[in-house]
Chain A
Amino acid sequence: MVTNEFKMSVDSRSVNESFARATVAAFAASLDPTLEEINDIKTAVSEAVTNCIVHGYKNCVGKIYITVKIRDKNTLIIKIRDKGCGISDIKKAREPLFTTLGGDRAGLGFSVMESFTDKMTVRSKVGAGTTVTLYKTVNGREK
């Protein structure tokens, strides 16, 4: 059962990366997460939002849609969607160190999202966009 929900959209400008992760973290604060859990959430969101900016909308500025739901009292479901170029080979894109950009991008965005959350799903259609969903159960400071 979803007990709380939050939605926003933001322009795919890199200056908004810190805004997006801080906003999701602020929403998650109601679950009383530990500092480590907050950091995990911020890091995973930062990777997903960066992907929308550098891949999805690589040649333009578009909207990034973020929805966060709290399910069963302590599970966050964070959906980050763009209407950008899409991914032709998701399996390949998820491989550690794979990058289409080169330079200083390490190709570890999906690896970080996977290891900092409990589960990640990626849906994408070339020309239509990509949706990344991150699942994270917050145990907090065990009461």
Chain B
Amino acid sequence: MSVKFTFEDDTLICRLQGEIDHHTALPIRLETDDRIESCRPAKTVMDFSGVTFMDSSGIGLVMGRYRLLSEMGGELEITGLSSNAYKVMRLAGIDRIASVKKGGIKNGDK
């Protein structure tokens, strides 16, 4: 599991890769929060197109980042959810707090 970050035009893109569960969520969370706090982006995009598995730990990951970003006045966008990940996210009503886009981000290999 890994996260790759790019910060451009006040937008922080976090590309998540691999499996998200309770075991892998903690390092992702720490790294992402670190990056959000140092960049203080107007917009943060969590891109799930490289995620091969996700359970409800993914919900906590999004909700926690959402809380952090709202304190800073930043917005959150979710992209690249697989149909399985979308099914999990929908249970939590994630689409009510963040803008959810199904497709991934292009030029994604940086």
CA distance A31 to B78 in the complex (A): 34
- Of the residues A14, A39, A116, contact of B22 by C-beta under 8 Å: A14
CA distance A39 to B54 in the complex (A): 9
Q: Assuming A50-B22, A112-B91, is B84 touching A36 (CB within 8 A)?
A: yes
B29 within 8 A of A: yes
- Of the residues B21, B64, B87, contact of A46 by C-beta under 8 Å: B21
A18 within 8 A of B: yes
Q: What residues of B have a CB within 8 angstroms of the CB of A105 in the complex?
A: 60
Q: What residues of A have a CB within 8 angstroms of the CB of B55 in the complex?
A: 43, 46-47, 50, 112
A142 within 8 A of B: no
Do residues A104 and B88 form an inter-chain contact, with CB atoms below 8 A?
A: no
Residue of A nearest to B90 (CB): A115
Q: Assuming A104-B60, A104-B64, A112-B55, is B22 touching A53 (CB within 8 A)?
A: yes
Q: Closest CB-CB distance, A20 to chain B, in whole Å?
A: 10
B61 within 8 A of A: yes
Do residues A18 and B23 form an inter-chain contact, with CB atoms below 8 A?
A: yes
Interface residues of B in 62-105 (CB under 8 A from A): 63-64, 83-84, 87-88, 91-92
Q: What residues of B have a CB within 8 angstroms of the CB of A128 in the complex?
A: none
CA distance A39 to B19 in the complex (A): 12
Q: Please name the 9 residue pairs, one residue from A and one from B, whose CB atoms are nearest each other, closest first.
A: A104-B60, A14-B23, A106-B59, A46-B55, A39-B84, A104-B64, A50-B22, A108-B56, A106-B60
Residues of B within 8 A of A (CB): 19, 21-23, 25, 29, 53-57, 59-61, 63-64, 83-84, 87-88, 91-92
- 7 further contact pairs, Cβ within 8 A, besides A40-B84, A96-B91, A115-B91: A18-B23, A21-B53, A42-B53, A46-B22, A53-B22, A106-B60, A115-B87
